[in-house]
Amino acid sequence: MNKSPIEQRPSLTSMPIWKALEVHYEKVQPIHLRQLFADDPKRGEKYTAEAAGLYLDYSKNRITDETIPLLIQLAEACGLRQRIHAMFSGEKINTTEQRAVLHTALRAPKGKKILVDGADVVPEVHAVLEQMEAFAHKVRRGEWRGYTGKPIRNIVNIGIGGSDLGPVMAYEALRFYSQRNMTFRFISNVDGTDFAEATRDLNPEETLFIICSKTFTTLETLANAGYARTWCLNALGDAKAVRNHFVAISTNAKEVAKFGIDTENMFGFWDWVGGRYSMDSAIGLSTMIAIGPKGFRDLLKGFYAMDEHFRTAPFEKNLPVLMGLLTVWYTNFFAADTTAVLPYDQYLKRFPAYLQQLTMESNGKHVTLDGVNVDYQTSPIYWGEPGTNGQHSFYQLIHQGTKLVPCDFIGFYKTLNSVGSQHAMLMANFFAQTEALAFGKTEEEVKADGTAAWLAPHRVFEGNRPTNTILAEKLTPKVLGSLIALYEHSVYTQGVIWNIDSFDQWGVELGKVLAKRMIPELENTNEPVLKHDSSTNTLIRKYRKSNL
């Protein structure tokens, strides 16, 4: 059997430091956060770190003075330092696909040198950025015209997964800075409803489709792109209109040309950018058109600031390392299955959805780099909604349920939209929630409020529920870049500890193959021989009966 190019390492759970953490967990588990705060009045200042415009308070975690040093020893034993270096220097750390992992090169300033197979990739990155900028300026200034001569007013991004979640999240997050006389829409689902609703009020003469697909072979995207062409040409009546109304973002020029988009209207990227790490590549063209090239450059600056912090800061002050190690702490020692991400900013409403792909497609793996089944848990399930909405929905479970749900609270000192005194209300809720989760309310306190004895148990808050607090001055493109890079590198930190390939996604293949095979079984007028299990066969027959 061929050996994986990454050096074999001892199994995680057999490492002495892992055993030491198991022993440490037994000591920490019974301690309440009330106790930890009472014992150390400076805890809320001590367990903090700051970088790239972000302030992290991790004091409301179930850790003692020994925990982070032990977790850092674990990181060292797992070779995190070397692995960070390997990623930034373009080593092929995506071993199962034999690729470098260089989303960090997308935000490297001009003049930096990053080699892939001996060639410096930074000049190419900047060449594409300049191509994007020239195009974005033309569209924003109304110089890029539709086929009938009208300026483009509507941008429709067609893509799925990393070719959608990043662009739509960034557009929503940075909407405050967006060109308000333009409309931005995002179509991802192969469900025709997505296309129909996104385009129903748009004039094809003023609409530009950005077809985003790293591979340009993704079924959903090609179906939607094909239909977009029909929609456009039905109105404009000439195949030549495709030139004015379609651009492509891809690594696959051959497929782009095959689809009928002139490769002159294509913006490239590279196989060393993973789909879920690509929103700051040309995949971010819709973002750049929305917020302008200067805003996009600021976004990249935020990413870069966090990259440099991750690459150089000591682990005990390193935000992504701390957050990554805390996730390991809860996942593997406290057996927490999920992490909630709770942005207290309406503009970040798609941030949890974006993080779901980033975290779970990266670290939802069950074999190590050497192909051995893990004997420990890997990625938690990420989920969340903006505050305060979530408070009136699922927070009940976080406060009083039987599951431990570590939460990341994300907020801003300043609002972008000052509406009465609502920002103070929002942030009062933000701070109050982390306080309530940590400290809870004892039965004595509940009774002291005059609650009847029979009702008191229902009104008790156990507390001791861990949270991270992430704060920044205000939501800007730069801060958004730092925030995304924070999570990207936290995910990598977790993946290194778990010894998995955080950059492949073989788990999405099987469903895709089966679906492709099944399409004719749903569409053919003569019933094909169905060779599935009895459940699937029956379901297909029921569908056929309704449709054919």
Q: In terms of Cα–Cα distance, which of 300, 243, 461, 487 is closest to 384?
A: 487
* Least distance from ligand F6P to the Cβ atom of residue 394, Å: 27
| 392 catalytic residue (yes or no) | yes
Helix (H) or strand (E) run with residue 54 in it: strand 54-57
Residues 196, 192: Cα–Cα separation, whole Å:
6
Residue with tokens 């690509």: 278
> Six-digit token pair at 139?
């569209």
Residue with tokens 């005194």: 421
* Least distance from ligand F6P to the Cβ atom of residue 154, Å: 22
Residue span binding ligand F6P (CB under 6 A) among the ranges 65-73, 142-150, 159-167, 380-388: 159-167
**Contact call for residue 508 and ligand F6P (CB under 6 A):** yes
Per DSSP, the residues of 192-231 read HHHHHHHHTT--GGGEEEEEE-SSS--HHHHHHHHHHHHH
Q: In terms of Cα–Cα distance, which of 377, 285, 301, 391 is closest to 342?
A: 391
Per 3-state DSSP, the chain is made up of helix, strand and coil in percentages (nearest 5) of: 55, 10, 35
**Contact call for residue 379 and ligand F6P (CB under 6 A):** no
Could you report how far apart the first and last alpha carbons of the chain are, in Å? 50
Nearer to ligand F6P, 268 or 463 (CB): 268
**Contact call for residue 368 and ligand F6P (CB under 6 A):** no
Nearer to ligand F6P, 308 or 504 (CB): 504
Residues 214, 249: Cα–Cα separation, whole Å:
7
Helices (H), 209-315: 219-236, 242-245, 253-259, 285-312
* Least distance from ligand F6P to the Cβ atom of residue 140, Å: 25
> Six-digit token pair at 213?
């697909």
Nearer to ligand F6P, 452 or 510 (CB): 510
Nearer to ligand F6P, 213 or 363 (CB): 213
Phi and psi for 26 in degrees, rounded to 5?
A: -60, -35
Q: Are 28 and 64 in contact (CB under 8 A)?
A: yes
- Angle ∠(451,454,456) on CA atoms, nearest 5: 45
Nearer to ligand F6P, 38 or 508 (CB): 508
Pick from 54, 84, 160, 305: which binds ligand F6P (CB under 6 A)?
A: 160
* Least distance from ligand F6P to the Cβ atom of residue 270, Å: 13
Choose, from 42, 392, 458, 545, the residue flagged as catalytic.
392
Nearer to ligand F6P, 207 or 505 (CB): 505
Choose, from 19, 294, 512, 516, the residue flagged as catalytic.
512
Choose, from 205, 361, 385, 521, the residue flagged as catalytic.
361
List the interface residues with ligand F6P, window 200-219 (CB under 6 A): 213-215, 218
* Least distance from ligand F6P to the Cβ atom of residue 253, Å: 14
Pick from 167, 275, 293, 384: which binds ligand F6P (CB under 6 A)?
A: 275
**Contact call for residue 157 and ligand F6P (CB under 6 A):** no
Residue span binding ligand F6P (CB under 6 A) among the ranges 68-76, 156-164, 388-396, 530-538: 156-164
Nearer to ligand F6P, 89 or 215 (CB): 215
Pick from 161, 295, 384, 390: which binds ligand F6P (CB under 6 A)?
A: 161
* Least distance from ligand F6P to the Cβ atom of residue 256, Å: 12
Q: How many residues contact ligand F6P, by CB under 6 A?
A: 14
E strands in 68-206: 115-116, 119-120, 154-158, 183-187
**Contact call for residue 502 and ligand F6P (CB under 6 A):** no
* Least distance from ligand F6P to the Cβ atom of residue 202, Å: 23
* Least distance from ligand F6P to the Cβ atom of residue 277, Å: 9
CB crowding 403-433: b at 16 or more within 10 Å, else e: ebbbbbbbbbeebbeeeeeebeebbeebeeb
Pick from 62, 99, 229, 276: which binds ligand F6P (CB under 6 A)?
A: 276
Bridge-based pairing state of the strands 467-472 and 54-57: antiparallel
Nearer to ligand F6P, 410 or 491 (CB): 491
Residues with active-site annotation: 361, 392, 512
Q: Could you list the residues that contact ligand F6P (CB under 6 A)? A: 160-163, 213-215, 218, 221, 275-276, 361, 505, 508
